Amino acid sequence: RRFDFRPKTDPYCQARYTFCPTGSAIPLMKEEDVIEVYRLQAPVWEFKYGDLLGHLKIMHDAVGFRSSLTGKNYTMEWYELFQLGNCTFPHLRPGMDAPFWCNQGAACFYEGIDDAHWKANGTLVLVTTISGTMFNEMAQWVKYDNETGIYYETWTVQASPDKKSTVWFDSYECSKFILRTYQKLADLGAVFKKIQTNYTSIILFSGEPIYLGNETSIFGPQGNKTLAAAIRDFYNPFKPHQSVREFFVDLFRIIDRVILNHQFYLFYNLEYWFLPMKSPYLKIIYEEVPLPGGSKASSGI
């Protein structure tokens, strides 16, 4: 779903790591320039934990560019303004009935490619070359995409692990931005190399979702107080934890709700849905999604 504008961020929403700290405007390239396009992938939080999350195939994706005329390198990626946890679960603030969401995602563009970051535990590989004209047209598309696709969605929700199963909700995160970028470049005439490209998806498995309403209809003056209390109660165990004991107590509560009682409340495009969860409940998939023009396969963990 596309939105008309990006809302201002609330001062309550704070990121542990600054979003796009060295970001810059996308430069205007000369039409005759030949620009190399690189696929970049590394484990999430590789800068802090090295290859730890790479063993679980939880990967972050980006795209790199190199101008033949200037020799300058650039990196473009899309990620959460307030870190993953804030985009996935809300805050339950005193005095506020509705859960409070710190959830936005956006593109970040900056000069340079950190070769060590992407090569050490991940991928840095040439996938195509484009002209300066194509790059500039892509830059205009990025501006539109960034202004209208504003919310980060962690979960893909499917009916079953079967490859042809119904997808109830699709995620909207870093890899989806990269896939959209590749497709835009292909639409502009880029020809991609035939190499295997895999991406991480975190999938919830559910029966047909039940629409519950939006913030006003559930938590407003005329809202459903019983449903509002159930949603707040569901999200409570996902709050940040101050002690190991608190974490394990709430982990058991999460297991009880999601697995034993088959319940999950999803907030998607500003609306709440009930998911009747079913086995295997959650799975991390490292799925092959080909560059424009290939075939598809997947492997799960």
246 located within any domain: no
93 located within any domain: yes
Q: Which domain holds residue 110?
A: 34-155+169-195
294 located within any domain: no
98 located within any domain: yes
71 located within any domain: yes
Q: What's the distance, CA 255 to chain centroid?
A: 24
Dihedral angle over CA of 134, 140, 146, 147, nearest 10: -160
Q: Look at residues 277, 273, 281 and name the one whose alpha carbon lies nearest to residue 210.
A: 273
Residue 244 pLDDT: 83
pTM greater than the 0.75 cutoff: yes
How many Å apart are CA 219 and CA 213, to the nearest integer? 10
Cα 117 to Cα 11, 55, 89, 301: the distances in Å are 31, 16, 28, 24
Residues 6+ apart with CB under 8 A from 249: none
Q: What's the distance, CA 81 to chain centroid?
A: 11
pLDDT values of the chain reduced to their tens digit, one per residue, 301 residues: 789 888 888 999 988 889 999 999 999 999 999 999 999 999 887 766 667 677 778 899 999 999 999 999 999 999 999 988 899 999 999 999 999 999 999 999 999 999 988 988 889 999 999 999 999 999 999 999 999 999 999 999 999 999 899 999 999 999 999 999 999 999 999 999 999 999 999 999 999 999 999 999 999 999 999 999 999 999 999 987 678 888 888 888 999 999 999 999 999 999 999 999 999 999 999 999 999 974 454 445 5
Residue 163 pLDDT: 86
260 located within any domain: no
Active site residues: 60, 174
State residue 264 phi and psi, 5-degree precision.
Answer: -155, 130
Residue 295 pLDDT: 44
How many Å apart are CA 179 and CA 129, to the nearest integer? 16
13 located within any domain: no
How many Å apart are CA 208 and CA 275, to the nearest integer? 7
Q: Look at residues 147, 113, 121, 163 and name the one whose alpha carbon lies nearest to residue 283.
A: 163
Tokens of 231: 């949603």
Total domains in the chain come to 1
Q: Look at residues 120, 86, 123, 84 and name the one whose alpha carbon lies nearest to residue 102.
A: 86
23 located within any domain: no
Other beta carbons within 10 angstroms of residue 99's beta carbon come to 22
